[in-house]
Structure 1
Amino acid sequence: MDIMNNPLATASQLQRRNNFSSLPSDLQDIVFYATQCLTQAAGMLLELPQSTTAQANVLLARYWLVESPMLHEFSDVSAAALFLVAKMGPIPRSVRDFSNVYAHLLSSKSSFFRPTQPVPPPDLRLSYQHDDEYLAFQNRLLAVEPRILYALSFDTHVSLPHALAITYLQTLDFAGQPKGSIGRRVVAYLNTALLSPQMLYLTHQPHALATAAIYNAAKDLGAKMPECAWWEVFDVDREELGFLVVGMRSLDGWVKKQKEDVPGIFDDGVVLRSRIEEEMKKRGLHVGNGKGDAVDEEDEVMRQMDAKMTTAQQT
């Protein structure tokens, strides 16, 4: 396995994503963006490295390529993906920590998604859950986690472009621009790309993402770039670079448009499955999980998973 590259989504997978879900494409994109934002906020409160949170973002995106978002509450999928990556990393967190953090983010006390309000330091003790609430969260978390693993064929490898981008920056000379400011802007673009409903991390390799982020950062700060097709040195062609540059820069405009087209959907920043169902009812659409006989299919998936695990233990 090439540790510098990621398995990319195929055209058929992207098409199937649009077909198997009962969600219209605009609502799918809204769910994706809001849940990725929730994952980032949870990673901050849990004091996890950004690399851990970014890997969780990528795994969540891969999971929703093969299963409908409507199968589970969106926050449960976010928590399960982050929990899965965190426990394999250097700073694992307990289920109780996850329970308190997600309870806080989903509560009216949370100010992470309300930028017009003052943002006091969050006191997670105020979101401490009673035993029955905690056990319910734990059961949901531990039910979704193996589904993610099974859907991804237990392949949790994620190569991120952040370190690669810093290496690329060291090979470029920016006239009149501190390299530190360029680096911060590059990382900001890479983190923003994680939230894009275009799923840029699933359709492009890390070296291309790193190159596009450098191009955007240099343009924003007025840095003088080499007067040649420097991106070709990093094995990126002009067409791919142009697509990624536009994709990374278009997220803010897309969010503003969604707020206008679907008023109220982002009122508090947290998009729940119930709110999406209400929006679908307003449109006269069938509300379902997008999987037909989902309960039977879920049971079959779990039976297959149990059989695989039993076989692995016996061998």
Structure 2
Amino acid sequence: MAHAPHPLATLEQIIKTPSSEDGIPSEVEADLRVAGCMLIQEAGVMLELFRPQSTMATAQVIFHRFYYVSSLYSFGVNDISISSLFLSTKLCETPVRLRDLINTYLFLLARIQYLLNQPSDQPLRPSLSTSSSDFKFDVPSFHDEIFWEWKDVITANEMQILKRLGFNMQVDLPYNHMINYLKILDLVFEDEVAQMCWSILNDMLLTPMYAIHPPHTLACASILLSARLLRIPLPEGWYILFDATYDDIWSCCGHVMRLYTDWGLEAPRGAVTSGFGIGGGDKGQNIKENRWRRAWVLAQSRKAVRRWLEERDKGQNNV
């Protein structure tokens, strides 16, 4: 089965990412990837870039690819996140005013800072884009210096993304593959199957799977996980028809399930979750919220990552 060219990370890049070479633990790198992609999602929704879905998805794929050729030690998550989204609006021909994009990110970052300043015993349940009676945000004036600072950051990082990815911005998303496969499996009209597959593919964008596996594998993974969550049987060896392997599919499913568990995210609507341990609940909620706090703090800049590494090394030396 022939597939469109879709640049993927090499095995060496996956095993030894640039960030791991700089001493950043794999779980911290994974958390920062999630934080950056969530920012893209939140900003995209606020800017109404979800029609079509490809704009936000392309930005998240580019974001993941970038950190397989560059280190979190050298490039801040927030900077690359906003630059990836701005670049994606050009690639997908969904233009957005740069000032609107910057104001949206400033709002989201101010909202994050507001949540970080809350007492640690208060839950971090609100969405980044939701409002609060205590939260205030003033839109910068037209000639405010912060706009020009962010404009320079976006311009510089946009060129870094293009250069480091070799100007190869080809992104083949799995949504059309998934719909075609559901038609072949006669599942496209089953209740909630297509919608759940779509939701799982959206959630998978928070993981590096789009930069590791081709789109037909991701489509098969969404079908397998949806079928498991909805208790729908699939024909034996069905994935062979779509040129996918079970190990690759199951790996993608595992990353999505871990995302639900580690971050306390809700499972797709309609999922039969009994026995799967999906979602946060109250168990280990403090651990999940500390994970959010750490990711948000380290995503602020490369200096925050470097500071954290220095403090960790000092702590290890004092032991």
Bin the TM-score by the shorter chain. Answer: 0.7 to 0.9
Look up the SS of the partner of 2:234 in the other structure. Answer: coil
Distance in 2 of aligned mates of 1:9 and 1:51: 20
Greater displacement, 250-259 / 239-248: 250-259
TM-score scaled by length of structure 1: 0.78
Deviations 1:149-186 (A, max 9, x none): 00011110100001110111111224xx9535111110
1:283 aligns with 2:291: no
Distance in 1 of aligned mates of 2:115 and 2:48: 15
Residue in 1 that maps onto 2:82: 79
Are the equivalent residues in 2 in contact too, given 1:259–1:266 (CA < 8 A)?
no
Deviations 1:197-216 (A, max 9, x none): xx211221100110110111
1:60 aligns with 2:69: no
Residue in 2 that maps onto 1:184: 195
Are the equivalent residues in 1 in contact too, given 2:72–2:305 (CA < 8 A)?
no
1:41 aligns with 2:42: yes
Cα distance, 1:277 vs structure 2: 4.1
Cα distance, 1:124 vs structure 2: 11
TM-score scaled by length of structure 2: 0.77
Cα distance, 1:80 vs structure 2: 0.6
Q: Which amino acid aligns with 2:300?
A: L
Are the equivalent residues in 1 in contact too, given 2:227–2:234 (CA < 8 A)?
yes
Which of 167, 173, 178 matches 1:165? 178
Q: Compared with structure 1, are the counterparts of its residues 31 and 269 closer, same or farther at alpha carbon in structure 2 (3 Å cutoff)?
A: closer
Residue in 1 that maps onto 2:261: 253
Q: Which amino acid aligns with 1:255?
A: W
1:272 aligns with 2:311: no
Are the equivalent residues in 2 in contact too, given 1:8–1:205 (CA < 8 A)?
yes
Residue in 2 that maps onto 1:225: 234
Deviations 1:80-123 (A, max 9, x none): 111011023232111101111100110138999953479349x9
Cα distance, 1:275 vs structure 2: 4.6
Deviations 1:45-70 (A, max 9, x none): 11113211111111111111111123
1:152 aligns with 2:152: no
Q: Which amino acid aligns with 1:181?
A: E
Are the equivalent residues in 2 in contact too, given 1:103–1:129 (CA < 8 A)?
no
Distance in 2 of aligned mates of 1:275 and 1:281: 10
Root-mean-square deviation (CA, aligned residues, Å) is 3.3
Are the equivalent residues in 2 in contact too, given 1:100–1:129 (CA < 8 A)?
no
Residue in 2 that maps onto 1:306: none
Q: Compared with structure 1, are the counterparts of its residues 234 and 168 closer, same or farther at alpha carbon in structure 2 (3 Å cutoff)?
A: same
Greater displacement, 239-248 / 15-24: 15-24
Distance in 1 of aligned mates of 2:202 and 2:62: 15
Are the equivalent residues in 2 in contact too, given 1:104–1:110 (CA < 8 A)?
no
Are the equivalent residues in 2 in contact too, given 1:5–1:205 (CA < 8 A)?
no
1:70 aligns with 2:70: no
Residue in 1 that maps onto 2:10: 10
Distance in 1 of aligned mates of 2:97 and 2:33: 25
Are the equivalent residues in 2 in contact too, given 1:41–1:112 (CA < 8 A)?
no
Distance in 1 of aligned mates of 2:162 and 2:232: 43
Are the equivalent residues in 1 in contact too, given 2:73–2:305 (CA < 8 A)?
no
Distance in 2 of aligned mates of 1:110 and 1:45: 18
Distance in 2 of aligned mates of 1:75 and 1:276: 12
Distance in 2 of aligned mates of 1:285 and 1:255: 28
1:207 aligns with 2:216: yes
User: Runs of 4+ in structure 1 displaced over 6 angstroms?
Assistant: 109-113
Greater displacement, 26-35 / 133-142: 26-35
Which of 88, 92, 106 matches 1:89? 92
Greater displacement, 136-145 / 20-29: 20-29
Distance in 1 of aligned mates of 2:170 and 2:192: 30
Cα distance, 1:35 vs structure 2: 0.7
Which of 195, 198, 216 matches 2:206? 195
Look up the SS of the partner of 2:248 in the other structure. Answer: helix
Q: Compared with structure 1, are the counterparts of its residues 25 and 103 closer, same or farther at alpha carbon in structure 2 (3 Å cutoff)?
A: same
Query: How many residue pairs are counted as aligned between the two chains?
Result: 280
More helix by share: 1
Are the equivalent residues in 2 in contact too, given 1:17–1:65 (CA < 8 A)?
yes
